[in-house]
Amino acid sequence: MAGSSVSSVAVPYLAVVELNASTAHVSALVFLTQLPSLLVTLHAGALADRHPKRPLMIGGDLVCVVVLLTLPLAAALDRLTFQQLVAVAFVQATAGVVHDAAAIAYLPTLLDRSLLQQGNSRIGGLFSLSATAGSSLGAVLVSVLGAARALLADALSYAVSAWCTTRIRVSEAPLSPRTGNTKLRPEIAEGVRYVFADTTLRTLTLTNSAVSFALGVLNTVWALYLLRELRFTATAFGLVMGAATLGSCAGALLAPRMTRWYGPGPMMLAALALTPLTQIPLLIASPGRSWQIAIGAALAVQLFCAAAAGTTQRSIRQMITTPRLQGRMQAVSSWLTGGSRPFAAPLAGAIGTLHGVRSALIVGTVLLLVPVAVLALSPVRSLRALPVPTPDPGGDPPTRADVPAPANEGAPLTKEGDRP
Contacts 24+ apart (CB under 8 A), 177-182: 178/50
Q: What is the pLDDT of residue 178?
A: 56
Q: What is the pLDDT of residue 419?
A: 29
CA distance to 215, 326, 398, per residue, from 402 (Å): 35, 13, 6
pLDDT in tens, 93-107: 999 999 998 998 888
Report the distance separating Cα 222 and Cα 238, nearest Å. 13
Q: Are 227 and 16 a contacting pair, CB within 8 Å?
A: yes
Q: What is the pLDDT of residue 182?
A: 66
Q: What is the pLDDT of residue 84?
A: 92
Report the distance separating Cα 128 and Cα 245, nearest Å. 6
Quick one: angle between helices 234-262 and 116-145, nearest 10? 170
pLDDT in tens, 183-240: 788 889 999 999 999 999 999 999 999 998 999 899 888 878 888 888 888 778 777 7
CA atoms within 13 Å, Cβ hemisphere of 197? 10
Q: What is the pLDDT of residue 209?
A: 92
Burial of 397 per CB tally in 10 Å (0-12, 13-18, 19+):
exposed
Q: Are 282 and 217 a contacting pair, CB within 8 Å?
A: no
Low-confidence ranges of the chain (pLDDT < 70): 173-182, 242, 388-420
